[in-house]
Structure 1
Amino acid sequence: MRKILFFSVLMLVCTVAFAQQALWGGAPVISPEIHDNNTVTFRLKAPKAVKVQVTGDFLPTQKIKTPFGEFDGPGVVDLKEGKEGVWEFTTPEPLKPELYSYSFIVDDLKIMDPSNVYMIRDVASVTNVFIIGGERADLYKVNDVPHGTVSRIWYNSPTLGMNRRMTVYTPAGYETSGKRYPVFYLLHGMGGDEEAWIALGRTSQILDNLIAQGKAEPMIVVMTNGNASQEAAPGETHYGMVPPSMNLPKTMEGSFETAFPEVVKFIDKTYRTKANKQNRAIAGLSMGGYHSLHISKQYPDMFNYVGLFSAAIMPDKKVQSPIYDDFDQKLKIQFSKKPALYWIGIGTADFLYQSNTDFRKMLDEKGYKYTYYETGEGHIWKNWRIYLTEFAPQLFKK
């Protein structure tokens, strides 16, 4: 009996060992490997490859031409082949604290790092990610602090004629506190959706950490889908797994701004909110900044805090909508009501830098008070995460 039991255990161990070998295919390749000095090694096992490269925002930028203009894009560097077909590259200098994205290029084919399960989608691009901790980047990490709740919730928009989805962050303790909370509406850019700020912007991590540190007030954060033709993010609607696209109808022609009061009404009805101007904020990046600008001036009694992150400013000249009529007069009314904060942030290399400069000049000439925050680099999530960490602590202060 003991012999049978022994052989049974032996067979089980062998089976597990063989299963693991089949699953992993031998010793695992570690990539990315973050060293103690914050240099990083990337590795890829590709014994039949002729050329392997890594591209990512940890490298110096390069100019990339797109249908929407020329942008700063991630650099590219070659890996060197080593033993057993493992290609390798180590950054020559330590990386600064930040959330970084990257992918491999094998013989001109872009692929994900098979050794790194952490990936993020940005419109139609998928990249691997890793974090170098320290300084501001610690706000992007999941730390040992009380955590809020992230929900995907549907609402009806009669103006747009469909049910639509939004992502809502409620702060730690919301479910049991019985309290009412201020609301921050946070809007994405062109091609993004209600998932963008949570995934790429690290909203829940940033808010959890700022609130825990006492640097931000506990607040509800509402992240809508700013594409008025969409029900929700690609793959999350009855249309199925349609390809994500930047070229969507009804994005910056007034529909979203017209329908936005329905979002506010739904949130005030569904959540325990402080339902007044003094306890509402709106901000967004790029197209979302454009929406924030025009929503806040269209409804001057709705928001006391406004944030424009690398914002587009004015509509295309071909666009006709009552939302954009009487721009100067609406802006005058908005500032006559003295918003608590009108905040503008942009990078010096951003393709929208000049239009933001012109807008600020106009505000200066009219004596409209605003706060300006300038960073380096361009139209990138690195900047927008920074802006969120700077803007959120200024909201709802007594």
Structure 2
Amino acid sequence: MVSASPASASPDGWESQSGIYHYFTVPKSIVPSQTCGNSTGAGAELEGNIGPSGTWAAVGLDASGQNCMADIGPMKPGLYYYQYVAPMADRSKQVFRNPASGVDVTSHPNWNTLFVPGPEVAWMDDVAAGGGTMSDLAYQSGASGSHSVMVWTPPSYDPNRAKPYPVLYLLDDAGQSYREWQELGRAKQILDNLSASGDLASMLVVMADPGATDYRAEVLNRIVPAVEGAYNVIGTGDGRAVAGIGRGASQALGFALSDPGAFGAIGSMSGYLPSDVAITAPLAKAVNKGTDLIRFYVGNTLDPSYNATRDAMLALTSAGVKFQFDGVDPKTGAVWDTWRENLRDFASRVFQPGSSHDGFSAGHRALTEPYTPPATGSITTPDIDANGMVTFETGTQWANAKDVVLWGDWAPNGQWFRIPLTKVGDRWRTTIGPIDGYYYWRYEVNGTAYHDPQDTQNTNNVESQLFVPGGVRTPLLADVPANESGAVATLQYASAYPGNPTMSLKVWTPPDYDPNRAEKYPVLYLYHGMGQNFASWTEVGRAAQILDNLYARGEIAPMVVVMPGYPGISDFWNDLSSKVIPFAQSTFNISHDPSEMALAGLSWGARGTQGALVNHPGTFSAYGIFSPPFASGSLNDTSGPVAKAGTTIVDFFAGDLDSGAVNAIAGMETNLGKYGIPTVKTIVPGPHGFDVWWQGLSDFLPRIFEHGLTIRQGGADFGQVPEGYAPLDPKKLTVTNTESETTGVLSVSLSGPDADKFSVSTDTLASIRAGKKADIRVTAAAGLPAGIYQATVVVAGDAQRVTCSVRLEVTPA
């Protein structure tokens, strides 16, 4: 009996959207734990495929009045599935749902689904009009009674057409329901779009669950006859195709081997060969004769059938069976994100005699070697493979823990998700990916934060650093080559904080820092936030990498950056003015001129930065105020004119979810504007966290200190050479114009006591257009006796000047 398929379930009323964010608002009274949040103890959270690359992750539903609420965004277009979970005081978890919402996923009745539209997923969105019809077909399944399949018929389906329609049968995996092809696979939308674009043969598609025990009889003796009895379809193998996922894929391959010709096309999605079939030469010949298409699909190394798919293809190759391979999908593993694309590809191929492309889908890669995960106990830091897959594994110290997760800035905008680990023996382990760029993370064991015991780089913060190369997500946070990186020193000084006679600070100096340079370096004093420390900017915020990259690109002036600390919620002005600045000036070759001094900070450090501006105007010329919680005062008619006279820029930066900071900045901006102080304000998607603050620092640094010209050093240090050395290759210096106007003609000269020991390739440079570059080559004299030789290259124009140190050390023969 054919009947209309059930309508889509009523949506989750706890989910809503505003702008780029999706909000999940749950009445606290419904939460089984009666508690919000997901830290130590009881709480509430949302978990689903919301992590990077669709990783299953959780976000806390934090207290908001009488509700528990989370926001996620911006969400990449696609289909998400999620559930609400209440961690209880004993660390057990209770799943709960909105009682007013229907069941979205038959095999996971507590799951909700959320489709986020976008151009990149238009192929699985609803068509505007004219889609096919999804129906249920009931049939008798032997002694077990009535079962059903879902049937998609094309928009033009005619039960009386003279030419019957071909049929594609889709088989589910173990643990799935045949309805999952629609509920999570969006089969109707995919087929509707293929049909509308002319990329689908005029055919029917049947979604079925043949079970595990006697799938052959269920399909061939029950499902196929039921379909052929109810619809106008072809009744021979050349008009049938079959594909499946996992177990269903194995069953589809099984039909090719047990009943060659019963189906003319076979699709294996994350599949494997049946173990009880030997492919003899006569069988291989029969398969090739009766099957027009066998095509394999598999996800990345997270797909449990990764090696099994390879083994199946090797077996068919050895037996002489013809097949195609779609290539490894590098983006996802054995999940619906993979299988939807597989369905889209396979459906467009079957019953299409003109289809000639039999290679990989775009961006897919070969499967040449089996995958072997890192051996248990072999990982001392997160293991990153060549494809951006990252494996985490604990030691045995948490063998008795009830749960272990990776807390980190895994969310799209840098908010904090928790990714669960699975217990393997006495260790906890997970693999995520592919990911690229920078993340900071920590373990949480039974809800309590722990530093990675194997991390010896970050020693002052509980978070650890993870940088996965090869992508474009966070390029400024990548390490530069060793010869282009600045130095980061950790120093102690006598502080002004009561009870803390000695404090530490970090200092970054550029790679060509010269303690004897005649022109002192401008200096930035950079502060952390409450609950952080002097190392937070380098150990979590990657300040050194940001400085290294911007300097290597020629986008910032040569400068020194001092990163002090402060205890608790101290006002750091007294310590900064009476201790930090004098200490830095006595230790480094930095300027005392306020026009070459800048101050910046995040959160509580931003409050202190704004306090320095309004209470001590004229001390610094530039201020970076990142996510201030509130103002530390206001300029008045006395301090305002002083601040205006000495301030070149105030850079405000915050995340859009940080309403306190956004409001504080608005008030500060109004106050500064009253006195004509130049400001710039940037609000980006993000929370009160480092994903916002490293962007703020990256925005602020190029704005401070005059650097219309910068020199990108391609190796101005000739290094050590022995006496009698052969002539040395010239060193290249790249001059960049970072201003918005052309420079005019520039002079090039050498200065310093050893200027006569070097030469430059030209004494003038033609005008450099805005944003463009020019090269100079510096040559060292040959035959110099033992000694250290230093000079300075000076490039200057009417109102521009930039220098770069050159050095050569000749050692005794």
Q: 1:391 aligns with which of 686, 696, 700?
A: 700
Q: Deviations over 1:1-54 (max 9, x none)?
A: xxxxxxxxxxxxxxxxxxxxxxxx985147633344534333346695574432
Number of the residue aligned with 1:78: 420
Task: Assess, with a 3 A threshold, how the Cα gap between structure 1 residues 32 and 52 changes in structure 2: closer, same or farther.
Answer: farther
Return the alpha-carbon distance in structure 2 between the equivalents of residues 353 and 42 of structure 1. 36
Q: CA deviation at 1:290?
A: 1.1
Q: CA deviation at 1:307?
A: 0.6
Number of the residue aligned with 2:489: 151
Q: Which moved more, 1:361-370 or 1:337-346?
A: 361-370
Return the alpha-carbon distance in structure 2 between the equivalents of residues 44 and 172 of structure 1. 37
Matched, 1:137 2:479: no
Return the alpha-carbon distance in structure 2 between the equivalents of residues 285 and 206 of structure 1. 16
Number of the residue aligned with 1:193: 533
Number of the residue aligned with 1:293: 610
Number of the residue aligned with 1:344: 652
Give the letter for the 1:40 counterpart.
V
Secondary structure of 1:385's aligned partner: helix
Return the alpha-carbon distance in structure 2 between the equivalents of residues 223 and 304 of structure 1. 18
Return the alpha-carbon distance in structure 2 between the equivalents of residues 112 and 159 of structure 1. 28
Number of the residue aligned with 1:234: none
CA contact (8 A) 1:226 1:288 kept: no
Output the TM-score relative to the length of structure 2. 0.36
| Aligned positions, number | 326
Task: Assess, with a 3 A threshold, how the Cα gap between structure 1 residues 292 and 136 changes in structure 2: closer, same or farther.
Answer: farther
Q: CA deviation at 1:386?
A: 1.7
Number of the residue aligned with 1:260: 576
CA contact (8 A) 2:408 2:418 kept: no
CA contact (8 A) 1:33 1:40 kept: yes
Return the alpha-carbon distance in structure 2 between the equivalents of residues 192 and 77 of structure 1. 24
Number of the residue aligned with 1:210: 550
Give the letter for the 1:261 counterpart.
S
Matched, 1:169 2:508: yes
Give the letter for the 1:129 counterpart.
Q
Return the alpha-carbon distance in structure 1 between the equivalents of residues 622 and 593 of structure 2. 12
Q: CA deviation at 1:284?
A: 0.5
Number of the residue aligned with 1:230: none
Matched, 1:219 2:570: no
Number of the residue aligned with 1:355: 664
Number of the residue aligned with 1:378: 687
Q: CA deviation at 1:269?
A: 3.5
Matched, 1:269 2:586: yes
Q: CA deviation at 1:387?
A: 1.3
Q: Unpaired runs of 5+ in structure 2?
A: 1-374, 708-813
CA contact (8 A) 1:120 1:200 kept: no
Number of the residue aligned with 2:718: none
Number of the residue aligned with 2:383: 33
Q: Deviations over 1:144-173 (max 9, x none)?
A: 143333333344457969454432222223
Return the alpha-carbon distance in structure 2 between the equivalents of residues 282 and 292 of structure 1. 6
CA contact (8 A) 2:515 2:588 kept: no
Number of the residue aligned with 1:318: none
Q: Deviations over 1:131-151 (max 9, x none)?
A: 133436333333214333333
Q: Deviations over 1:207-226 (max 9, x none)?
A: 22221221111111111223
CA contact (8 A) 2:631 2:668 kept: no
Return the alpha-carbon distance in structure 1 between the equivalents of residues 575 and 444 of structure 2. 42
Return the alpha-carbon distance in structure 2 between the equivalents of residues 211 and 309 of structure 1. 21
More helix by share: 1
Q: 2:430 aligns with which of 77, 83, 89?
A: 89
Give the letter for the 1:149 counterpart.
A
Return the alpha-carbon distance in structure 2 between the equivalents of residues 274 and 31 of structure 1. 41
Number of the residue aligned with 1:236: none
Return the alpha-carbon distance in structure 2 between the equivalents of residues 265 and 223 of structure 1. 14
Return the alpha-carbon distance in structure 1 between the equivalents of residues 408 and 447 of structure 2. 18
Q: CA deviation at 1:394?
A: 1.7
Q: CA deviation at 1:81?
A: 4.4
Task: Assess, with a 3 A threshold, how the Cα gap between structure 1 residues 114 and 186 changes in structure 2: closer, same or farther.
Answer: closer
Return the alpha-carbon distance in structure 1 between the equivalents of residues 485 and 448 of structure 2. 39
Return the alpha-carbon distance in structure 2 between the equivalents of residues 297 and 208 of structure 1. 31
Return the alpha-carbon distance in structure 1 between the equivalents of residues 463 and 496 of structure 2. 37
Q: CA deviation at 1:313?
A: 3.0
Return the alpha-carbon distance in structure 1 between the equivalents of residues 565 and 406 of structure 2. 29
Give the letter for the 1:340 counterpart.
T
Task: Assess, with a 3 A threshold, how the Cα gap between structure 1 residues 312 and 143 changes in structure 2: closer, same or farther.
Answer: same
Matched, 1:283 2:634: no
Task: Assess, with a 3 A threshold, how the Cα gap between structure 1 residues 196 and 79 changes in structure 2: closer, same or farther.
Answer: closer
Secondary structure of 1:313's aligned partner: coil
Q: Deviations over 1:61-80 (max 9, x none)?
A: 9xxxxxxxxxx963223334
Number of the residue aligned with 1:20: none
Q: Which moved more, 1:109-118 or 1:134-143?
A: 109-118
Number of the residue aligned with 1:42: 392
Give the letter for the 1:135 counterpart.
V
Return the alpha-carbon distance in structure 2 between the equivalents of residues 259 and 395 of structure 1. 23
CA contact (8 A) 1:285 1:309 kept: yes
Matched, 1:55 2:387: no
Task: Assess, with a 3 A threshold, how the Cα gap between structure 1 residues 85 and 301 changes in structure 2: closer, same or farther.
Answer: closer
Q: 2:623 aligns with which of 306, 314, 322?
A: 306
Q: Which moved more, 1:283-292 or 1:138-147?
A: 138-147
Q: Deviations over 1:253-307 (max 9, x none)?
A: xxx3244322333333332222212211110011111111111233322211111
CA contact (8 A) 1:104 1:113 kept: no
Task: Assess, with a 3 A threshold, how the Cα gap between structure 1 residues 40 and 336 changes in structure 2: closer, same or farther.
Answer: same
Return the alpha-carbon distance in structure 2 between the equivalents of residues 264 and 50 of structure 1. 47
Secondary structure of 1:174's aligned partner: coil
Larger relative contact order (CA 8 Å, sep ≥ 6): 1
Give the letter for the 1:132 counterpart.
V
Secondary structure of 1:135's aligned partner: coil
Q: CA deviation at 1:380?
A: 0.9
Give the letter for the 1:43 counterpart.
E
CA contact (8 A) 1:297 1:334 kept: no
Return the alpha-carbon distance in structure 2 between the equivalents of residues 264 and 111 of structure 1. 35
Share of identical aligned residues, percent?
A: 24
Output the TM-score relative to the length of structure 1. 0.69
Secondary structure of 2:554's aligned partner: coil
Return the alpha-carbon distance in structure 2 between the equivalents of residues 294 and 273 of structure 1. 23
Secondary structure of 2:529's aligned partner: coil
Q: CA deviation at 1:185?
A: 0.7
